[in-house]
Amino acid sequence: MTCRNSSALLAFCASLVAASGPLYAKEAEHEAPKSEPAAADEKEAPRHLSDESQLTQGSISAGNHKLAYQAEAGVLVVHLKDPLDDDPPLPAAERSGSPPPPQPPEASMSYVAYFKGDHEDAQRPITFLYNGGPGSSTVWLHMGAFGPKRVLTASDAHSPAAPYRVVDNEYTLLDASDLVFIDAPGTGFGHLRGADKEKAFYGVDQDAHEIANFIVAFLSRHGRWNSPKYLFGESYGTTRSAVLAYVLQSEKALDLNGVILLSQILSFDNSADAPQFNPGVDQPFVLALPTYAATAWYHHKLPDQAASLEPFLAEVEQFALGDYWRALAAGNTLPAERKAEIAAKLHVYTGLPVDYIQRANLRINAGEFEKTLLGSEMTTGRLDSRFAGPTLDPMSKEAEYDPQSAAISSAYVSAFNDYVRKTLRFGDKKIYKEIADIDKVWDYQHQPPGAPSKVPQATNVEPDLAVAMKQNPNLKVQLNGGYFDIATPFFAALYELQQLPIQPSLQGNIETHFYTSGHMVYVHEPDLKALHDNVAAFIGKTH
């Protein structure tokens, strides 16, 4: 699930964070009793984080066979650099009254790993999976897509409240690869410690380095350095994967077999969430148009309903890259009669009223489209525009929430909290944070390969993936996307991969698959099956 930088989604992220008791209750249990004052050194000692893990055995019925596995749930502490490289602080008695040095930043990252069979086989592929945000846990991929258990939700409507059904997942990716679901720092059961901890861990580059450190630590502890290795990221997780592939390769000497992208965004200039604040950059309107058209087609809002989706989308894509983009590029020099012609064509492709399109100057952002398509009383989903829900404020200009997020979030979070404690036997007296509040502290500036410093522009990690593919010409990339995803439109993802600064021969290392669902393609069971089959085949032919 995504939580990229948009006002609509920030509201969604805030709505997900449930108040469930004091956030630091676990730490409070370890404080010295007030009646017994601690010694000076003890008062000054930093509260370091520690590793924890719990191993369980499980099995499911997958299709016509039984699949047995080991599950390891835990937290693993990562540092910015090897803590043994630093000398320990002097005892208080030797510091001549000087305070101790600040505690170096560290993060405990929670994870759940699954290994097929009754023992871990180092010859099997291993895939590291994560959702995005930034600031999202990986509960969504875990309980919706590839874990051995999944929660059942409605395909395009609001799911009823608890009790939720958790079933054996016959589409688990465990048949093709061992799996490690990683929660980003500050989410899941993880915590941050140390001086400037948010600055140390919350940012495009910081995030990639900490996940890289997690991966190499995990490989070392489990003896998996010689296993075929894959990254699977969803949404901002695809941004992370591009940087991470480069960091693992250039700083850890670790070549990957494959990078699997679901609901991709590599260049944030292509986001349709708030392009009105970046005038002159019209790509978001162009690249979102096919998704708007798919949404209008799904909800039967087109003046001339096409018989089938994909031929219709091919026609819209041609118009978007041609007449539409040229009209937007003309800016204020576009003749009035030509503007009227383009508005009429946009009405045919989106179902939006012609006068609304003209008043918007041919430029409709994502929130405006979601709020307007179905009239003043209903709002379409952002992550999956097949979903719709009552509009919060009929007088608002843009959508104020995401009906898909509202429809399924409780099922995922509730099911995982029950499953991790009762089945995986981990998390007692801990709080699972599905979303971290990173809005005001996340550093979106990025230092791409070859740049002397971070560049002052919207995040763009296409150079990272391109360099990773050049330095490792055997690296394969798979793109997966949903036609009804307004958050990260499929046509924008395809455009980004076509713009990678790589040799034509390396374009053959990229394969693409699109589905009749949205951002979380796995909420639609036929697409979950297709996603599994495509990813399993990709892993099977790349190791």
Residue position matching structure tokens 């379409």: 380
Strand partners, 243: none
The residue type found at 289 is L
Rg over alpha carbons for the chain, rounded to the nearest Å, is 24
pLDDT at 47: 61
pLDDT of residue 367: 97
> How far is residue 543's CA from residue 541's CA, in Å, rounded to a whole number?
6
Instruction: Give the end-to-end CA distance of the chain in Å, rounded to a whole number.
Output: 28
Q: Which of 169, 273, 285, 262 is nearest to 493 (CA)?
A: 262
Which among 494, 524, 429 is positioned nearest to 21, based on CA atoms?
429
Q: What is the pLDDT of residue 455?
A: 96
Considering all CA atoms of the chain, what is the largest pairwise distance in Å, rounded to the nearest integer? 83
CA distance 271 to 3: 12
Q: Phi/psi at 230 (nearest 5 deg)?
A: -135, 150
Nearest-angstrom CA–CA distance, 362 and 342: 8
The reply to whether omega before 163 is within 30° of 0 (cis) is yes
Type of residue numbered 491: F
Number of Cβ within a 10 Å radius of residue 451: 10
Residue 386 in tokens? 């097949």
**CA–CA dist 66, 168 (Å, integer):** 10
CB 256 within 8 A of CB 269: no
CA 247 to CA 377: how far, in whole Å?
Answer: 47
Phi-psi region of 194 (alpha: psi -120 to 50; beta: other; left: phi over 0): left
Burial of 341-367, coded b for 16+ CB within 10 Å and e otherwise, reads: ebbebbbbbbbbeeeebbebebbbbbb
Interior/surface letters 293-322, b for 16+ CB within 10 angstroms, e for the rest: bbbbbbbebbeeebeeeeebbeebbebbbe
Strands 378-380 and 388-390 come out as antiparallel
Question: What residue has token string 């509040």?
Answer: 437
Query: Counting runs of H as helices and runs of E as strands, what totals does the chain give?
Result: 18, 14
Apex CA 377: angle with CA 306 and CA 282, to 5°? 60
The per-residue DSSP string of 330-362 comes to HGGGS-HHHHHHHHHHHHHHH---HHHHHHTTT
pLDDT tens track, the chain, 543 positions: 544 444 444 443 433 333 333 322 333 333 333 444 444 444 444 567 999 999 999 999 987 889 999 999 999 999 988 878 877 777 766 767 677 778 889 999 999 999 999 999 999 999 999 999 999 999 999 999 999 999 999 988 899 999 999 999 999 999 999 999 999 999 999 999 988 999 999 999 999 999 999 999 999 999 999 999 999 999 999 999 999 999 999 999 999 999 999 999 999 999 999 999 999 999 999 999 999 999 999 999 999 999 999 999 999 999 999 999 999 999 999 999 999 999 999 999 999 999 999 999 999 999 999 999 999 999 999 999 999 999 999 999 999 999 999 999 999 999 999 999 999 999 999 999 999 989 889 999 999 999 999 999 999 999 999 999 999 999 999 999 999 999 999 999 999 999 999 999 999 999 999 999 999 999 999 999 999 999 999 999 999
359's tokens: 């008043």
Q: Say what the alpha-carbon torsion angle 118, 120, 124, 127 is, to the nearest 10 degrees.
A: 110
Give the integer Cα–Cα distance in Å for 342 and 348.
10
Domains, the chain, ordered by start: 7-14+47-86+98-269+408-540 (3.40.50.1820), 275-364 (no CATH)
Report the relative pairing of strands 178-182 and 106-116 from DSSP bridges.
antiparallel
CB 353 within 8 A of CB 264: no
113: left (phi over 0), alpha (psi -120 to 50) or beta: beta
